[in-house]
Amino acid sequence: MNRKITLAALVVTLGVGALGATAPAFSQEPARRGGGQLFQQADTNNDGRVTADEAWTGLSARFAAADANKDGGVSWEEFHSYAQGQMASRRGDRPAPPAGRLARMEQRSQGFFRAIDADRDGKVTLTELRPFADAMFRARDANADNALSRDEIRPQHARGHRPDRTQQQPAQQQ
């Protein structure tokens, strides 16, 4: 799986099921399980957009669900367990990815987990997750209106479009 999907799995399962950091979670086609449903859940006022506040509310709820022992921090073990459950429920009756791909996904997820764990105590808190979530939200908010539409969370290439590189000008040399 590519890095974006791995990050999406980490972000969604860490509790960012509503946006902010969930933006990558919705970068997959809405027809797939998870993305469209997560967007609808996050869009609490059903206006077709997810605001930063709606995103944070969703993030907080999913984070609480991942925090199995309710100590305010999600350990790698809690995250991994939660992620496995979420991925299995989204997968339904489709087969699991090959073992090699799963191993790479887990390795990348561990790296992202360590990056978010700012104090290196082995747990990610909402306080540590907030800057990451905010940055992911801003990165997807292309028109800077403090809300994400389905188009903003699904990049062109995720919808089957590739950028036309023939139109790009080569960098001028000095």
123 DSSP β-pair partners: 75
pTM: 0.69
Average pLDDT, the chain: 76
Q: Is the pLDDT of residue 76 over 90?
A: yes
The sign of the torsion formed by the CA atoms of 150, 156, 132, 108 equals positive
Contact between residue 101 and residue 91 where contact means Cβ atoms under 8 Å apart = no
Q: Which residue has the higher pLDDT, 19 or 50?
A: 50
Contact between residue 19 and residue 55 where contact means Cβ atoms under 8 Å apart = yes
What would the CATH number be for the domain defined by 3-153?
Answer: 1.10.238.10
Q: Which residue has the higher pLDDT, 52 or 91?
A: 52
pLDDT (average), residues 65-86: 94
Q: Which residue has the higher pLDDT, 92 or 13?
A: 92
Task: Provide the CA 16 distance to its chain's centre, in angstroms.
Answer: 6
18-42 per-position pLDDT tens digit: 333 433 333 333 334 445 777 888 8
The pLDDT value given to residue 2: 40
Contacts 24+ apart (CB under 8 A), 143-146: 146/51, 146/52
Q: Is the pLDDT of residue 103 over 60?
A: yes
- What is the CB neighbour count within 10 angstroms for residue 167? 6
The pLDDT value given to residue 159: 46
119-163 per-position pLDDT tens digit: 999 999 999 999 999 998 999 999 999 999 988 877 654 445 444
Question: Where are the strands (E) in 41-80, listed by range?
Answer: 49-51, 73-75
The pLDDT value given to residue 10: 45
Ordered by start, the domain boundaries in the chain are 3-153
